[in-house]
Each structure stands twice: as structure tokens, then as C-alpha cells.
Amino acid sequence: MAEVTVRGAGVFGLSIAWECARRGAKVRVIEREGVGAGSSGGVVGALAPHVPENWNPKKAFQLESLLAAEQFWAGVKAAGGVDPGYARTGRVQPVAPGGEALARARAEGAKALWQGRAEWRVIGVEEAPAFRPVSATGLYVHDTVTARLHPARACTALVAALEAAGAEVVIGEAEARGPVVWATGAAGLAALSEDVGRTVGVPIKGQAALLHFEAPEAAQLFADGLHVVPHADGTVAIGSTSERDFDGLGTDGQLDVLLEKACALVPLLHGAQVLKRWAGLRPRARSRAPMLGPWPGREGHFVANGGFKIGFGMAPGVARVMADLVLDGSDAIPDGFRVEDSL
């Protein structure tokens, strides 16, 4: 039985560990702080695609990962008995003035690029759901590939699945056995940067909030750069800021501005109680794509980092290619995702 150590209990680390365990490996996860202690402990959980145009390996990989997510998370739930909060509820976006032609062109692009496995279509207000953003044109884009996930519960579900499969999840320190996968988020980017002598990525602060609002079956919304994600438990997540320069790791007035913006874009949210305010550091690789592959100069050590805003959506695909690499030596990492692409 192969032995594998994964350092980091965020969504990348836990998903890779689960895929390795599912294939029969003996897995140990080592996490210094706690499950989902970094950016994976957020509240938003938006699993959304890139626009269907200017196709490239990153967009293709993300689409395949998003389409694999339903089966992936169903398997996690079945193995450990914990619901990760996954549902493919779709997404609604307003079409901006002057943007109708582009939106319709993207709809045609989706027909070809998404191969009939999901839709991107332009709809009028009469087809739009009651829970929707304001649209100056009365038009919306509706896609059916977007899904939601409850981040903290997803991490808890992965731990339960791992333990049911006989894997270890150690909070603290322990001996590494076999190949080591470093999925350590912002701290891992700093460590790799120091090791190779140049900056391979930076932490980006994000702030988000969780509101009490009952819309458990509603599609998520995206308007003016803002994600509004209804969850099954009667909450709606609002996020997030994207701060390269920041003082401190707590929430501040920028989140208040975000909440005001959300209520202006989605009037139904006026008066909703704020249940939680969250801030964290999201790891962004220099290439802006996930950073996957061998750690340069460290035989038997591998990197899985740089999930930034799309980590949960990319997790099933990242887990698959990293398990291929670590267990079988098979390299299926897409162009642009390799560690050397950020060096």
C-alpha cells in the first residue's frame, strides 16, 4: 500500500488526500492550525465557470472540474456521512447596458465549448427568478454549470470521508511518510518563494459576510463583481473584497461597503441580519492559475497551491491530477498550471 503525506487541511489538501485514499493509499494529513484554518474556512462557496470565450487549458480544466463536482462531492458525502452543502443551482447575472451582443455571443460560444453539458443563455425579466439582482436592461445571463458549496462543511465532510477510509488527520505535527504534498496556502507560497529565491505568489485578503435569508433553492447571483450565494441552511453569503494591500487580518469598513452594495444590487436583502463577518488570506500564484507539480529541487515533495478564488471549483480536478502524479507518476497537469509557470 502506497503511503502519502499531505500537509495542509484546506480544500486542496483534503481533496488530494481523499482522492489518494479512495485509490487505496495510506494517507496522513498534517495541519498545524486547524481544518479550513486558511481561506478554505470562508463562507462564500461559489463554484462558477469562466466565460465561454477565448478558450484555453485553464478554462477547459475548470469546466471539467466543475462538471465532475457533483459526483465528487456525492462520493465524499456517502463515504463520511457529512453533507458538504453542494448543489448545482446555476447562476443569474444582469446584462449591462450595451452588453447584450456580447452576452448572446457568449451563449453561442457555450454551445460549442460546453458541448451541451451546460447552458449559458440570455433571458428576459419574465424568466428571471424572484431572487435576482437589479438589471438596467431587463436582461440576464443564466448558466447551469455554476454550483454552490458550504466551505467549512465541505472541509468537515472531507475529513469525515478520510477518517472513514482509514486515513489520519493530525492537527499539530507528525512524521511525514512517503511522498509529501504541500497544500499550505498563503504560508506555503511564502515558503516556496524563499526556497526558490523569488516571489511565486502573494496572499490576497478577502472579506465576506453571511446573512440570514431564506432562499435555499435559489440560483446564486453575480453582479458588479459581487457574489451572492444562497445556501441550503437559510443563509446567503456575500463576497468578497480583493485586497492586495491591507492592515491586519480582521474585517473592517470595506466589508460594510460590500454589504451596502449587495443590498443595492439585490433589494430583497435589505434588513437581513448579518450572522458572520469573515476575513482571510487567499493564495494567488504569480501565474494566476493553480500551482501544481514537483517542488523544485526537493525529490518526493510536491506543491498544490494558488487556488485563490477558484479553489473549491478546481478541487476535484486538482485532486485527480495530483493523485495521478504522486501515486502513478503520470503527469496530466494542464499547461499554465505547473510550478515552473510561476517561477
**Can you give the CATH number for the domain in which 156 is found?**
3.50.50.60
Residue type, 61: F
Q: Are 33 and 230 in contact (CB under 8 A)?
A: no
Residue 73 forms part of a structural domain: yes
pLDDT in tens, 54-77: 999 889 999 999 999 999 999 999
Q: Indicate if the pLDDT at residue 131 is higher than 90.
A: yes
Structurally, the chain folds into a number of domains equal to 1
**How much is the mean pLDDT over the chain?**
97
Residue 176 forms part of a structural domain: yes
Q: What is the extent of the structural domain holding 191?
A: 3-85+148-201+286-342
Residue 242 forms part of a structural domain: no
Q: Are 164 and 80 in contact (CB under 8 A)?
A: yes
Q: Is 218 left (phi over 0), alpha (psi -120 to 50) or beta?
A: beta
Residue 209 forms part of a structural domain: no
Cα–Cα distance for residue pair 265/136, rounded to 1 Å: 11
Three-state secondary-structure class, residue 239: strand
Residue 119 forms part of a structural domain: no
Residue 273 forms part of a structural domain: no
Q: Indicate if the pLDDT at residue 10 is higher than 90.
A: yes
Q: Indicate if the pLDDT at residue 1 is higher than 90.
A: no
Residue 302 forms part of a structural domain: yes
pLDDT in tens, 134-176: 999 999 999 999 999 999 999 999 999 999 999 999 999 999 9
What confidence tier does 255 reach under pLDDT thresholds 50, 70, 90? very high
pLDDT in tens, 210-239: 999 999 999 999 999 999 999 999 999 999
Residue 312 forms part of a structural domain: yes
Three-state secondary-structure class, residue 242: coil
Own/partner contacts of 188-196, CB < 8 Å, gap of 24 or more, are: 188/8, 188/283, 188/303, 188/305, 189/283, 189/285, 189/305, 189/306, 192/295, 192/303, 192/305, 192/339, 195/295, 195/296, 195/297, 195/298, 196/296, 196/297, 196/343
Q: Are 118 and 67 in contact (CB under 8 A)?
A: yes
